[in-house]
Amino acid sequence: MELVSNLSLDAFTALARRYTQPLHVFLCGLVHDPELARDLLQDTFIAAWSAALHGTPPLLANGDEAEMRRWLYRVAYRRAVDSLRRGRLIRWESLHDLLDFERLPMDRTSSSFEELVAESEAMQRALAILTPEDSACLLLMVVQGFTAQEAAAIIGSSATAMGKRIGRAKRRLLSAYLAQNASNPGGRS
Amino acid sequence: MNTFNMRHPSGPECARYADLLPQFRQGTLTHAEEVSLRAHLATCGYCQEQLASYDRVDAALHTYMGRFARTAPAADDLVRLAVVRVPSTSPAQLNHHQSQASWESRRDYSMYNDPDETTYEMPTLPRPDRRLQQTQNTRTRPVLATIAALLLIGLAATLFAVVGRPSTSPAQSSTPTATTLPTATTQPTATPQPTQNTTVGVVNSGHPCSTDTSGRTSYVYIGDLKVSKVDFANAYPANELPANLDPAKPYQLPGNLPNPPNPSVNPEPWYDLTVCNTSNTTSHVIRSLTVRIAAFTPYSGTLNSYMFCDGYYQRPNGVSGGGCGGGLAADEWLRADFAANATAGAQVTATQDGSNIGNAPPLPVSLGPGQMLFIAIRMTPPTAPGTYTFAFGLNYDSVTPARISTMLPTIFDSAAVKWTGSNCTKPALLSQIPASDTTGKYVCAP
C-alpha cells in the first residue's frame, strides 16, 4: 500500500484544458456529430472527475500524464462506441460547422475554396464507411499521434492487430477518398 | 483526381508490399519488413506513388479533423459541469491509502460500471430544449418534499386543532379556526422563506472561483467582483434571411451565413453570467440583476429566419442538420419579465425563477471570499417585434445597479417565418430543387 493523493481540481482543470480539443476532435471523427461529441466529451470528463475523486489510478496527483491521456481516450472511445452501438445515433450535421468553411486551413496555395470544401466533404464521406474500430485506429495513430501500443490499449486490442487494422483502415480510406473525389467534379484535379 | 493518378505501372513484387505500405509511417512494421520495404521503395516508382497517396490522405485527414478543434467546448465548462455533477461530499475526496494497481486492471470499475454511465440521458452542457426536462427531473424534488412536509404539518396541526382543543359543541369542533388553536407553538406555520430584503443566504464554500468555467473571455471588474459579460446560454439564435423571399420557392442557403448570427433572431431568451468574489477576506452580498432595454427599433414587414437546429434539405440525403438540445446547471435561476409594451428605457429587476432550483440559496446571497455564482436568467421580452438591445446590471451590497454589459442587438418577432429543411419535403417545393444538385442546402417556408 502506498500513500497517494487525489488529483486536485487545479490539476484536473489543467488536464482538461490540455485534452479537451484533441478529445473533441477524436470524438467528432468517431461519431461524425459535433453535438454528440460534446455530450460524450462531457461524460468523459464527468467520469474522469469521479475517478479522480475516488483516487482511481492513473487520475492521481502523482499519476503519469501519459496514462491519464490514454485513460481519457479509452473512456471517450468506449462512450462513443456504446453510443453508436445503441443505435441512438441519428446523423445530424450542424450548419455551425458546415457553413464556416472560411476557417478551413488554407495551407495549400493551389487549393481554391471550392476544392477545399469538396475535399472536406469527400473525407467526411470516406470516413463514414469505416467501422468505429478502424476509425478509432486511424484517428489515434494518424491524427492524435499515439503509438500502436498506446492505441491498442485504448481500443482494447493488441499492437499486432493494430498494425493490420491501421493498414486496412488506410487502404479503405484511400479508396473511398479517391472514389469520392473522382466522382466530385469540384474535387481537386 | 490527377494528383493521385499513378504514372508508373506496378511491378511483379508490388503486391507483396501492398499491405505494408500503409503501415510505413505508423511504426507497426517489423524491422525485417521495414528494411525490405525500404529496399523495394528505392527502386519502385509505383510504390513510391502509392506511399505518396497515403501521405496525402493522411494530410487530408489531418486537415479535415482539424476543423473540429474550433468547435470544442470550453475545457473550463466541462470541468465546472463535472464538478457540479459529481457529488463533492464523496469520501474519496479525502486523501487515502489506495492500491496502485494499474488502471487497465480497474477499468471495469472506472469505465464500464462507473456510476456516471447514465449521464448519456442527462447531458448538462447548456442546451435549452432539454433544460427544463433536466431541471424538473432533478431539481424539483426538494420543492416537492418541502410542499409535502408543509401539507403534513398543516394536516397535523388541523387535526390537533380539531381534536386537541376543548370542545364546547360538535358544531364548534367542526369549524376550527386559527384563533382557537391551543398554543402559539403548535400553530402550523409555513417554513420561513427568505425575502430579498431581510434574509441573506450564504455561500462560503463549494463554489470556488476556480470553477468559473464559463469560457468567457470578457469580464468586468466591479470592486472585488469579477463578472463575466452576459451572453446567450446556448440560446441558438436564428439567422435573418432576406425579407423578399418567395415562400413558394425553396431558398438555397448561402455559404456565408453569419455564425453566430448577426443580428441574432428569436433566440431562446436564456442568458447566463458568472460572478466571482476575488477578495481574500471580504464577503459581498449579491442582491439581484437588472435588465434594461437600452435601445429598441421596431421591425415592420415579414421577418424570414433560419435556425440551424431546424435543418436543411440537401440531395440525396434529404433533411439534415440539427442536433440541438441540452441542459444547464446554474447556481441561481432568475427571470426577467418585461411588460408586453415595454420599450427603450424600461428596466426590470430579475426575480427568482421558481420553476428551477439552483445549487445555491436564492438571492440575495452573501458571496464569501473566493466564491462564485453561476447565474442563469430567463427573459420574457416585450411583444412588439423589433430589434432590442439589452443592458445588464448587478445589484450588490449597496450598489444599485452596477453596469455589467450590453448584448448585441437582437431581433424578437414572434411572427417570424421559420424556414426549415423539412418544409422542403412538400412535393411542390421539392420538385423545384434540381435533382442534379447535390451540393445546395435548401430551406423552405411553412
Give the per-residue pLDDT at B391: 93
Do B60 and B208 lie in one domain? The reply is: no
Do A20 and A71 lie in one domain? The reply is: yes
Question: Residues with Cβ < 8 Å from A102, sequence gap 6 or more?
Answer: A113, B256
Give the per-residue pLDDT at B108: 31
Structural domain harbouring B158:
140-162+186-192
- Residue A99 belongs to a domain: no
Lowest mean pLDDT among B37-46, B62-71, B281-290: B62-71
At B18, the amino acid letter reads A
| Tens-digit pLDDT profile for residues B215-270 | 566 788 888 899 988 888 867 889 999 989 999 999 999 887 777 788 899 998 88
CB B305 within 8 A of CB B406: no
Lowest mean pLDDT among B204-213, B274-283, B412-421: B204-213
CB B84 within 8 A of CB B329: yes
- Residue A96 belongs to a domain: no
Go through chain A and tell me how many residues it has.
189
Among B13, B40, B68, give the residue marking a domain's end.
B68
Compare all CA atoms of chain B with the CA of A106 and give the residue at the minimum distance. B63
**Interface residue B179 vs chain A (CB under 8 A):** no
Which residues does chain A have within 8 Å of residue B63's beta carbon, measured at their own beta carbons? 104-105, 107, 119-120, 123
Do A61 and A115 lie in one domain? The reply is: no
- Residue B359 belongs to a domain: yes
Among B34, B68, B102, give the residue marking a domain's end.
B68
- Residue B425 belongs to a domain: no
Q: How many CB atoms lie within 10 A of CB B16?
A: 12
Summarize the confidence of residues A142-163 as an average pLDDT: 88
B117 confidence band (pLDDT: 50, 70, 90):
very low
Summarize the confidence of residues A22-51 as an average pLDDT: 91
- Rounded percentage of chain B residues whose pLDDT exceeds 90: 29
Summarize the confidence of residues B275-291 as an average pLDDT: 92
Domain with residue A45: its CATH number is: 1.10.1740
DSSP-assigned letters across all residues of A40-107: HHHHHHHHHHHHHHTT-TTSBTT--HHHHHHHHHHHHHHHHHHHHHTT-------HHHHT-GGGS---
B375 confidence band (pLDDT: 50, 70, 90):
very high
Give the per-residue pLDDT at B27: 85
Residue B114: phi and psi, rounded to 5, are -70, 150
Taking CA atoms, B187 is separated from B146, B173, B440, in Å, by 18, 16, 71
Do B377 and B290 lie in one domain? The reply is: yes
Eight-state DSSP code of residue B205: S
CA distance A104 to A93: 17
The A residues from 25 to 64 touching B (CB cutoff 8 Å) are 25, 28-29, 33-39, 41-43, 45-51, 53-60
Give the per-residue pLDDT at B339: 94
Summarize the confidence of residues B45-51 as an average pLDDT: 89
Do A69 and A19 lie in one domain? The reply is: yes
Give the per-residue pLDDT at B131: 33
Which triple of cell numbers denotes residue B286? 449579491
DSSP-assigned letters across all residues of A122-155: HHHHHHHTS-HHHHHHHIIIIIS---HHHHHHHH
Question: Residues with Cβ < 8 Å from B109, sequence gap 6 or more?
Answer: A56
In the predicted structure, residue A4 carries a pLDDT above the cut 60: no
Structural domain harbouring A158:
108-183
Domain with residue A164: its CATH number is: 1.10.10.10
**Interface residue A132 vs chain B (CB under 8 A):** no
Q: Can you list the alpha helix ranges (DSSP code H) found in B140-285?
A: 141-164, 170-173
Spell out the SS3 assignment of B307-376. CHHHCEEECCCEEECCCCCCCCCCCEEEEEECCCCCCCCCEEECEECCCCCCCCCCCCEEECCCEEEEEE
Do A123 and A175 lie in one domain? The reply is: yes
- Residue B374 belongs to a domain: yes
- Residue A75 belongs to a domain: yes
Give the per-residue pLDDT at A132: 87
Question: Residues with Cβ < 8 Å from B317, sequence gap 6 or more?
Answer: none
Summarize the confidence of residues B85-99 as an average pLDDT: 45
Give the per-residue pLDDT at A32: 86
Summarize the confidence of residues B118-126 as an average pLDDT: 34
CB pairs under 8 A between A and B: 278
Do B283 and B383 lie in one domain? The reply is: yes
**Interface residue B27 vs chain A (CB under 8 A):** yes
Give the per-residue pLDDT at B195: 36
Sign of CA dihedral B400, B403, B405, B411: positive
Number of domains in chain B: 3
Mean pLDDT in chain B? 74
Q: How many CB atoms lie within 10 A of CB B446?
A: 10
Which triple of cell numbers denotes residue B105? 486492471
- Residue A41 belongs to a domain: yes
Could you tell me how many helices (H) and strands (E) chain B has, helices first?
9, 23
Number of domains in chain A: 2
Do A67 and A116 lie in one domain? The reply is: no
B161 confidence band (pLDDT: 50, 70, 90):
very low
Give the per-residue pLDDT at A40: 92
Do A71 and A118 lie in one domain? The reply is: no
- Residue A160 belongs to a domain: yes
- CA B164 to chain CA mean position, Å: 54
Do B337 and B237 lie in one domain? The reply is: yes
- Residue B109 belongs to a domain: no
- Residue B45 belongs to a domain: yes
Give the per-residue pLDDT at B219: 80
Residue B183 backbone class (left: φ over 0; alpha: ψ -120 to 50; beta: rest): beta
**Interface residue B23 vs chain A (CB under 8 A):** yes
Do A118 and A72 lie in one domain? The reply is: no
Question: Residues with Cβ < 8 Å from B355, sequence gap 6 or more?
Answer: B132, B135, B136, B333
Do B236 and B367 lie in one domain? The reply is: yes
Do A33 and A76 lie in one domain? The reply is: yes
Give the per-residue pLDDT at B389: 93
Mean pLDDT in chain A? 78
Q: Cβ-count burial of B191 within 10 angstroms (0-12 exposed, 13-18 middle, 19+ buried)?
A: exposed
Which residues does chain B have within 8 Å of residue A24's beta carbon, measured at their own beta carbons? 68-69, 71-73
Do B23 and B146 lie in one domain? The reply is: no
Lowest mean pLDDT among B80-89, B289-298, B379-388: B80-89
